[in-house]
Amino acid sequence: MKPSSTQNDTPADSSNEPAHPSPRKRWYASEDWLAVWIGAVALACCTAALYGSLPAQGEQKSAATQAGEKRLPLTTPMKKWLAKPMAWTDSPLEAFYVPGKKSVLAGIAGMFAVSMLLFGSATRILGTRWRDFVPAFSFVFLLALLAYLLASQTVIKQYNLEYALWALAMGMLISNTIGTPRFVRPALRTELYIKAGLVILGAEVLFSKLLTLGVPGMCVAWVVTPIVLISTYLFGQKVLKIRSRSLNMVISADMSVCGVSAAIATAAACKAKQEELSLAIGLSLSFTAIMMVLMPAIIHLLGMSEVLGGAWMGGTIDATGAVAAAGAALGDTALEVAATVKMIQNILIGVTAFGVATYWVLFVESEAGKSRPGATEIWTRFPKFVLGFVAASILFSLLYEQAERGPEIVTAIIKGSTKTLRGWFFCLAFVGIGLDTNFRKLAQSVEGGKPLVLYLAGQSLNLVLTLAMAWWMFEVVYKEQIDRLLQGVS
């Protein structure tokens, strides 16, 4: 079993999983492959729902055209069945129902039912009984709902305190005060939730959008990132002398690639402990909240262009949502550049996972006196959900480019359904991380503040190198081409 798995660290889980799965089942009865199937089913159903509604929407379009009205955008029928709390100011009830205007109660109930069915079926394959999973998942979903509710309050939204922070905080509060209830353990499938969300995220990483910025965007995302990752890891080993190599690697990948998503993939590849993953994610969320507020202000103060500022933020701020929020604070151009650079960087999730798995098998675990593992062990260690991420990206990129009304269809699917699914899956994962985090165990990984020093040193290097590369690419070498391209897009 993988020590990085939240579930495998608990007695409750080990009793739920079959001790010796049959060879015929072993290939798919793992969290990685189940995450791929969950993501595939979700994406297929959302796509089928939209295509099934196209004839009716075509009739509405014709009627609108004959009446001389504005062309109606495509929408998915899944939108009303997959929802999250709305923005509210005075009463939390406004997040669920506004008399005479809108209600998301059916959408939240639908989200609960869909999540319960998908993850309940997966955990049943892993050996957990439905009667154990249903009450446990209901508790976790309720905490995720509360996290969304807090994050949707208008004042809180102004400070960019996202649902991930609230979900993690509530989980940690419970686990370190009254303790995580035993009945909740069957639903603490943290990696399954976030891996399924990452497979769905692949549908949002479209090749045509990645190519928008061409070579400059690739240089910022693909040249600087590996340099920072390797340099930070070596700094942790050679200078800080961090005892846990897996903690060092997870923090380095978390900070340099794309935050939590990279941390999850890297933790699986190097068999990091749950406490190490929690520490890395906590550092990432904390500094992401700080950077998304400070960086737009610093860019304004220094008088940078929106293009340069957007590229700088896209390559350094960890979370995709935080990058979008920070880019929007500068302007539409900054938002477009920042989001595109971050999407290009997201591709490195799979590359990083494969690289770390290979390095760990061939070098870290191949110590003196031990036989060197073969290529089979690298494949065993490689996070298989990354294949789902890549496949989703390829298929939706082809749909976007080749299908009739492809851009409209893909946009409607993502905005109306898959993005909501992904957000809920991530929120469930953050709740699970919080519920499974013990401060006493976490303190053992702190090592006198070395992980914090590692993160600060790595992020400082990241900020400097990314700014230098972005300036050289966007303001010197390709300035005219980028200006023409962005004028054409706008």
Q: Do the domain assignments include residue 1? A: no
DSSP structure class, residue 103: E
Taking the C-alpha atoms of residue 354 and residue 351, their distance in angstroms, rounded to an integer, is: 5
Q: What is the pLDDT of residue 375?
A: 65
Which structural domain, as residue segments, surrounds residue 74?
A: 7-18+25-489
Taking the C-alpha atoms of residue 134 and residue 132, their distance in angstroms, rounded to an integer, is: 6
Q: What is the pLDDT of residue 233?
A: 96
Per residue in 42-90, pLDDT (tens digit) is 999 999 999 998 877 766 665 555 555 556 678 899 999 999 999 999 9
Per residue in 382-433, pLDDT (tens digit) is 778 888 988 998 999 999 999 988 999 999 999 999 999 999 998 998 898 8
Q: Do the domain assignments include residue 2? A: no
Q: Do the domain assignments include residue 320? A: yes
Q: Do the domain assignments include residue 12? A: yes
The distance between the two most distant Cα atoms of the chain, rounded to a whole number of Å, is 81
Q: Do the domain assignments include residue 224? A: yes
Q: What is the token pair recorded at 447?
A: 């090592």
Q: What is the token pair recorded at 404?
A: 């009739």
* Lowest mean pLDDT, pick from 226-240, 288-302, 462-476: 288-302
pTM of the full structure? 0.77
336 band by pLDDT with thresholds 50, 70 and 90: confident
Name 164's Cβ contacts closer than 8 Å, sequence gap at least 6.
147, 260, 285, 319, 426, 427, 430
- 474 and 307 Cβ atoms separated by less than 8 Å: yes
Helix (H, G, I), strand (E, B) or coil at 415: helix
Per residue in 12-43, pLDDT (tens digit) is 333 334 333 444 446 667 888 999 999 999 99
Split into its structural domains, the chain has a count of 1
Q: Provide DSSP, 210-258.
A: HTTSHHHHHIIIIIHHHHHHHHHHHIIIIIS--S-HHHHHHHHHIIIII
Q: Provide DSSP, 9-74.
A: GSHHHHHHS-SS--HHHHTTSSHHHHHHHHHHHHHHHHHHHHHHHHHHHHHHHHHHHHTTPPPPPP
Taking the C-alpha atoms of residue 310 and residue 302, their distance in angstroms, rounded to an integer, is: 14
List 103's β-bridge partners, or say none. Answer: 97
